[in-house]
């Protein structure tokens, strides 16, 4: 398990300032979305717990991972379309 933490930290340190800002905003939005009542509720006795924050961070990270995979998939689809157009364009020229 410690090895995975080291890898995560290494990858995290490679993020650009823009990517860090986006990550922070995503996590903050997830906290606000999931726990708005606790943050802005009329009852000041309810507090945001460590469990709530861990849940929000985990949810935000999962959503970010899914978005990255969607983007990667879209890029691969675009490459496939381009490759197909090049292959079939060569066939049309040869005929």
Average pLDDT over residues 56-78: 88
Within 10 Å of residue 27's Cβ, how many Cβ atoms? 19
- The number of distinct structural domains making up the chain is 1
* Distance (Å, whole) CA 6 – CA 80: 35
Asked whether residue 94 carries a pLDDT value surpassing 60, the answer given is no
As given in the structure block, the two tokens for residue 9 are 């930290």
pTM of the model: 0.60
As given in the structure block, the two tokens for residue 71 are 């983007």
Range(s) of the domain holding residue 7: 2-94
């Amino acid at each position: 398990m410690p090895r995975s933490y080291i890898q995560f930290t290494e990858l995290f340190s490679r993020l650009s300032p823009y990517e860090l800002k986006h990550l922070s905003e995503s996590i903050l939005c997830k906290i606000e979305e999931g726990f708005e009542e606790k943050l802005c509720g009329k009852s000041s006795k309810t507090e945001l717990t460590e469990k709530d924050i861990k849940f929000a961070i985990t949810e935000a990270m999962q959503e970010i991972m899914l978005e990255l995979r969607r983007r990667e998939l879209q890029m691969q689809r675009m490459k496939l379309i381009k490759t197909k157009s090049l292959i079939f364009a060569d066939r049309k020229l040869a005929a």
